[in-house]
Structure 1
Amino acid sequence: MAMCFPICRYWKLGRKDSMGDFSQLPRQDYEALKERCLRDGCLFEDKSFPAALSSIGSGPLLRKLPSRLQWRRPPELHSNPLFYSAKAKRLDLCQGLVGDCWFLAALQALSLHQDILSRVVPLNQSFTKKYAGIFQFWFWHFGKWVPIVVDDRLPVNEAGQLVFVSSTYKNLFWGALLEKAYAKLSGSYEDLQRGQVSEALVDFTGGVTMTIKLSEAPDSLWDVLTRAMYSRTLIGCQTHCGKERVLENGLVDGHAYTLTGLRKVTTRHGPEYLVRLRNPWGKIEWKGDWSDSSSMWDLLSPKEKILLLRKDDDGEFWMSLQDFKAHFMLLVICKLSPGLLTQEVGQKWSYTMLEGRWENGRTAGGQMKSPQDTFWKNPQFLLSVWRPQEGRRSQLLCSVLVSLLQKPRHRHRNWKPHLAIGFYLFRVSRPLSFDAQKKLPSEFFWKNASLSCRATFLTEKEVSRELWLKPGTYVIVPCTSEACQESEFVLRVFSRKHVFYEIGSNSRVIFSKEIVDQSEGKDEFFTKLFEKHPEINAIQLQNILNHMPWSGLGSKQPLFSLEACQGILALLDLNASGTVSIQEFRDLWKQLMFYQEVFHKQDTNRSGSLNWAQLRAAMREAGIMLSDDVCQLMLIRYGGPDLQMDFVRFVRLMLRVENMEDVFQNLTQDGKGIYLQKPEVYIYPPFHKPQFQAMFSMTPSLVRINIALLSNQLLHIIDPAR
């Protein structure tokens, strides 16, 4: 497809923002550039990150490129290009030639949270409405949300296939363009090779990461993971160091994965704790216990097996927690609000962020080694903490989270590797006699032991620790592992209440700012719910749903009956325990919020119910495509006597439809039909109904059930509540 627009090369429009070595990267005004391109009838071409080999790199990556590399825009690659689609499968991205599995693992964790994703990727961009060949993304860059503008020219091979990140949906391009923007921020595509999942997670969220060595994982690891999954966290992990070679067990050495789910299942031998992971390659899966072909699935109930097991070679798989700890090296949890591994709720969190610099000859003192060293020359920060309710005299411990981030030392991310950084913490016993204008001398540090004993030095972008401190005054000393090493850094402190400032500088005393996070109320809600009801039965579910704030439904607040909650519970209760876990409830909650949005959008007359046309539109909005006849059947079966469907009935229908769609996708071999031997038919509870038994008695030994049958019969007959 030939482009019919001339090219715009307006790349200097905007202002440059000095940010250390990042002054070489222009700050471009996205709106002004786009409007100028639209006015002149041309497509944007970014000269600051051109469609040339210089943007790809100058090292080994060049040798991997196809011989006839081309740069093409999405409208040249597909007849119906889409920037983003909410109907696409949640994990659709696949890694390309760049060794940036760490970036892609973090990106896929991000895609599991639509609201967080939309902060990084403005989802209203498209290739049709006001298309000008220009796109914008946002990254959290050392305390600031920084916009990165790119044109949409992407490197492809001679066949028109993307060389780097691609989607399983060939007309979807948000992932490829986001990778290009991140490459521009990092210097080049080649600068994305080699990295830590934690680094990308921070750049996507501005959150705080905690890395757990799985060989030293606490006994409560499952509880930690469970709390992380139902709160606002993104979770990645990495295998043991290696050269990204595929092992006999299907895992890849030196590779990053995304943790996408947890499930406690009940086998004939007792409970089993499972984790679900995804390989950013979009293929190559674990081959051990609980893999797609494992016989361990036969230990579960048929219902649990059908709904959990997926045999697609899409890179996503289950494995036991025990195997996860044995075969993976690091677990990375990125939290968007503090309280990383605690269950403390109530008061809001506050934070302070200060910038500093290690400068050779002045403030680059290195770590503590001997009384004569230069450790005391490092930047020193005074921290005073107390509990907001009990005050400064309280002896109860205070939760404090400290995060130290080092800035890159070169415009190109990989040209100068990270330094080994860490920090020490000291208690100041007599703060009233303390002179905040003068640094503490060397004697202080050798007479007062560090509370952190020996600082942990890591060659990573961020080093963080969660501390429990007595109310009082402390000194934090961030440093590099060796003296005379230069770099800039950002030091963040999160607590319930604190004062934080740099000693010996002219900066004023900085009080903590309250964190404004819309998710905090939700996190607190789930935390309290988890503490009160680790497992939720139908009566508790009814009470929770009838007290939820259905703000999107206006004055028409839904009322869930006990029967409705029993039906919902039957769909979620995979192990037939009569209850659902808090993680299963959180998944349900996400679905309910989505259904609420769809229902409200189609209920145009605000009657609190949907007619046949509105129901059909609502289901299509949710990505469920049923024929008009089947949709009519659904309204008769699950609607009211007046052929209207209220929100509660809509929820029950949507859960059933999605549940049966999962069943079909897990059983089908070719996407068109299910092939079962007659004896296999009797395994699956949906086929126990007399209607199906009569049908099977007249069929050959190999039964084929197609999508139409599933739509017209299965959905109409099955009612898990009965």
Structure 2
Amino acid sequence: MLSPNSSRRLGQDWKTTGTAGSLQSLKKFNNQDFSRLRASCLSQGLLFEDDTFPANVSSIGPNLLSEDKLWLIQWKRPTELQRNPHLIMDGVSRFDIMQGEIGDCWMLAALGSLTLQKRFLENVLPKDQGFQNDYAGIFHFRFWHFGDWVDVVIDDRLPLLNGRYLSVHPRTSNEFWPSLLEKAYAKLRGSYQNLHGGYISDALVDFTGGVQLQFSLKNPPPDLEEILKAADRSQCLMGCSTSGQLRNIELRNGIVQGHAYTITGATKIRYKNGWEHIVRIWNPWGHGEWKGAWSDDSPEWDHVEPKYREALCRDKDDGEFWMSCENFQEHFSLLYICNSTPTFLDFGGQNRTTWSVDRHIYQWSPVVTTGRNNYSPAGALSRNPQYFFKVTDYDPKTYNVVISLIQKHADNTLDAQKLKIGFLIFRENSKVLKQDFALARDVTNYFILSPGTYAVLPATSEDQEFEFLLRIFLKHQDYNGEPNYPLSSMLPKDTFTDLRKTTPENSDEPRLNQDSSYKTIFLRYANQGSAIDALQLQHLLNEEVLQDETASLGGRFSFDSCRGILALMDLGSNGRLTLQEFGSLWRHIAKYLDVFKKEDRNNSGYLDVSELKSAIQTAGLSVNEQLLRLMALRYGDATRRIGLSDFICCMLRLETMTYAFQNLAEDGPQLSMTTMEWLTLVMYS
């Protein structure tokens, strides 16, 4: 268990990280900077060689091949293999992928699904690289790694065995994005050997930063069809797998045992005098298909209208096939669905809902066991932190809470998957309601919980200590009035305030536009669900407002500036903002953000003095030249340019003080100064 001193140190490290690890501020894997390394190679006329993932046996792994084969491995660059190599040709498609000798179908099945969702694909596969311009033998890819987006740099030397690709190879001989992306993922996980066998659920999360759930097809939930429809509607990544002790054994019906596949589509089609639900599946081998009903040349297609048959049926040996939902459940064992938030659980006649998420990184201690896999919450409570949350909305027919727990092994090896981890959920001052433990990197489950306060206790049955990432997803409606049960995420009872970091798991677009309701944002950060203090306001503004690179160029919101903002909006003079006070602040911020973007015509991330003057006028306020100069001095940098965060602080103060003067003037004739004299006094102080 962490001592108080080590708890404090961990919290300080987490706090100083800021937004590092986001898509806007990537962490550099092994501290390698792609742009700097490429520029250095270009200036010296060299091709990059990656010493941290070298072209030798250590990058392959000692147990993937026999010793005699390991020494036969050759490493060659695409420029040595093809006269005119390309990173991408005619776009990115699942049909570009053909699995090689390594048993990483689980990773390639997730990759095949990734190619169908551009919003996720662009996060993983940067566009600033290729073989035609600024080629220096260096490439980079991005993955979500235990709560952070990391940029992984590689050289383009690929392993070959007896002249054949050891790893994935592209269907088109001179297109290399699949092989290079696979190499970057192997580097992230330690070696190619660590790709030989794995879980599609892990890869789906690593490619999206999202939350995944697994559904048994042998004992499916009663609303599985509704979940599939919702997953398709919300553009989730989906995969499936077959069971079997012997892996990669192809049965006579064409289905491979112990193998992972991608789900690429699902539809309801008119068949004879009724309807048939069919699902489309792709094999990462790039060949090998189902031979039963609804396969490429099956007679079922003869009873489908020609326009639908031509649109759906693709008679090619490309690994993709259709089958009925009934056969799908019969021949496959698990369904995997992944998205940024669990939108695949939003189905039925629900009103518009949103999901919020709390993230917690900490270290755990072993849970006390009582034998026969029974876990004692009483013993665990004394050693591990508890995480509290409040359920706000409740419908007995729909899921409203998802708990995801991910373990991080110290050396990032597959040994982490051998540890049994899980969590217990219990109501405040009550017995354990739910518990979920499994031998997996990621234990995630979904629940229907009635309104109230709950605690989550992460735990492991192993006698080890290492880090975990806990994410609590909660569904809530867009309220028309004040919520009866405001959402709250509370700190572990035995940790420090700076250990907490709450980050919405969304895409890299500005969240100011994604969340139409300020209440949704307030509830993510509110202390006990009722108020926001200066530190929480600082986290909120930096994470919700400064999303794109341009917005953050002018600097972040400091703690002192957030204390100033809070003082301006704190009508109760208690050092906190209520929901109503925050709503007023959020509307002002939205207005100032629009004004800033309009006046920052060159997208520099700053306003000069003339642009500041125009912005003030656009906001419906007025200043004279003396006050304008003082504002530029007070809120600007050395060249009197003002970034977005300082602009918002400045405008909040200017508008608030302008109206304060007007109110004072209305109260009586005793005020003996002009508006500009008043503003000059308060704006430069």
The TM-score, its normalising length taken from structure 2, stands at: 0.64
Deviation at 1:484, TM superposition (A): 2.0
1:106-143 C-alpha deviation (Å, 9 max, x unpaired): 01100111221110110231112111111111111111
- Pairing partner for 1:185 from 175, 180, 188: 188
Query: Hey, what's the Cα distance between the residues in 1 that align with 2:295 and 2:277?
Result: 14
Q: 2:389 aligns with which of 380, 384, 389?
A: 384
Deviates more, 1:420-429 or 1:127-136: 420-429
Q: Distance in 1 between matches of 2:308 and 2:515?
A: 28
Q: Displacement of 1:515 after TM fit?
A: 4.9
Whether the 8 Å contact between 1:378 and 1:478 is mirrored in structure 2 is: no
SS at match of 1:138: strand
Maintained 8 Å contact 2:341/2:473: no
Which one of 443, 451, 462 corresponds to residue 433 of structure 2?
451
Matches within 5 A, 1:8-23: none
The correspondence of residues 520-535 of structure 1 with structure 2, limited to 5 A, is: none
Match 1:42 to one of 43, 46, 51: 46
For 2:235 and 2:112, the matched residues in 1 are separated by 15
Pick aligned residue for 1:486 from 437, 457, 465: 465
Is the 8 Å Cα contact of residues 498 and 512 (structure 1) preserved in structure 2? no
Q: Please say if residues 235 and 258 of structure 1, whose CA atoms lie closer than 8 Å, have aligned partners that are also in contact.
A: yes
Matched, 1:422 2:404: no
Q: Find 1:253's aligned residue among 254, 257, 266.
A: 257
Equivalent residue number for residue 197 of structure 2: 194
Q: How does 1:328-347 map to 2 (within 5 A)?
A: 328-343=332-347, 344=350, 346=352
Assess, with a 3 A threshold, how the Cα gap between structure 1 residues 522 and 317 changes in structure 2: closer, same or farther. farther
The residue that corresponds to 2:167 in the other structure is 164
Which of 210, 214, 217 is the matching residue for 1:214? 217
- Provide structure 2 residue ranges, at least 5 long, that are not aligned to the other structure: 1-19, 22-26, 477-486, 517-685
Deviations 1:439-480 (A, max 9, x none): xxxxxxxxx32221xx23221221112223233221111112
The equivalent of 1:472 in structure 2 is 452
Contact 2:368 2:376 in 1 (8 A): no
Contact 1:384 1:471 (C-alpha < 8 Å) held by counterparts: no
CA–CA distance in 2 between the matches of 1:470 and 1:512? 23
Q: Per the alignment, do residues 405 and 249 of structure 1 end up closer, same or farther by CA in structure 2, a change over 3 Å counting? A: same
Matched, 1:317 2:321: yes
Matched ranges for 1:56-205 at <5 A: 56-62=60-66, 65=69, 68-87=72-91, 89-159=93-163, 161-205=164-208
- Counterparts of 2:270 and 2:396, CA distance in 1: 44
Structure-2 change in CA distance of 1:425 and 1:374 (3 Å): same
1:64 to 1:95, Cα distance in 2 relative to 1, 3 A: farther
Q: 1:250 corresponds to which letter in structure 2?
A: G
**Cross-structure match for 2:632:** none
Looking at structure 2, the residues matched to 353 and 25 of structure 1 have their Cα atoms a distance apart, in angstroms, of: 22
Aligned AA (2:127): L
3-state DSSP of counterpart to 1:492: strand
Structure 2 counterpart of 1:167, which letter? Answer: P
Distance verdict in 2 for CA 1:494–1:268, change over 3 Å: same
Change (3 A) 1:374 1:381: closer
Distance, in Å, in 2 between the alignment partners of 1:265 and 1:507 is: 55
In the alignment, the residues of structure 2 paired with residue 25 and residue 514 of structure 1 have an alpha-carbon distance, to the nearest angstrom, of 23
SS at 1:451 equivalent: strand
Q: Please state how far the C-alpha of 1:181 moved relative to its aligned partner.
A: 0.6
Superposed CA offset, 1:197-224 (max 9, x none): 0000111111000000111113432222
Alignment partner, residue 683 of structure 1: none
Q: Distance in 2 between matches of 1:145 and 1:370?
A: 34
Q: Could you tell me how far 1:483 is from its partner in structure 2?
A: 4.9
**Which whole-Å deviations, capped at 9, do the CAs of 1:635-670 have from their partners, x for residues lacking one?**
xxxxxxxxxxxxxxxxxxxxxxxxxxxxxxxxxxxx
Provide the C-alpha distance between the structure 2 equivalents of 1:89 and 1:498, rounded to a whole number of angstroms: 42
Q: Identity rate of aligned residues, in percent?
A: 39
1:252-291 aligned within 5 A: 252-291=256-295
Which residues of 2 match residues 638-717 of structure 1 at below 5 A? none
Deviation string, structure 1 residues 71-106 (Cα, Å, up to 9, x no partner): 111111112211123446542201111101000000
CA–CA separation in structure 2 for the residues paired with 1:396 and 1:248: 41
* 1:483–1:184 CA distance, 2 compared to 1 (3 A): closer
Structure 2 equivalent of residue 630 of structure 1: none
CA shift, 1:68, in A, is 4.2
CA RMSD of aligned residues (A): 3.2
Q: How does 1:220-235 map to 2 (within 5 A)?
A: 220-235=223-238
- How far off is 1:373 after superposition? 7.3
**SS of 1:311's equivalent?**
coil
Equivalent in the alignment of 1:500 = 490
Q: Distance in 1 between matches of 2:39 and 2:364?
A: 43
Q: What is the CA-CA distance between 1:356 and the residue it aligns to?
A: 2.0
Match of 1:407 in 2: 408
Q: d(CA) in 2 for partners of 1:227 and 1:64?
A: 50
Deviates further, 484-493 or 114-123: 484-493
The structure-2 alpha-carbon separation of the partners of 1:302 and 1:370, relative to structure 1 and needing over 3 Å to count, comes to closer
Q: Deviations over 1:700-722 (max 9, x none)?
A: xxxxxxxxxxxxxxxxxxxxxxx
Contact kept? 1:500, 1:511, Cα under 8 Å: no
Conservation of the 8 A alpha-carbon contact between 1:366 and 1:378? no
Give the TM-score taking structure 1 as reference length: 0.61
Change in Cα spacing, 1:219 to 1:400, as seen in structure 2 (3 Å) is closer
Letter matched to residue 457 of structure 1: F
Work out whether residues 241 and 334 of structure 2, in 8 Å CA contact, stay in contact via their aligned partners in 1.
yes
Moved more, 309-318 or 344-353: 344-353
Query: Is the CA contact (8 Å cut-off) linking 2:396 and 2:448 kept in structure 1?
Result: no
Matched position secondary structure for 2:121 = helix
Deviation of the 1:65 alpha carbon:
4.7
Distance 1:213 1:124, change over 3 A: same
Residues 163-201 of structure 1, C-alpha deviations (whole Å, 9 max, x = no match): 211111111111100110111111110111111100001
Match of residue 356 from structure 1 = 362
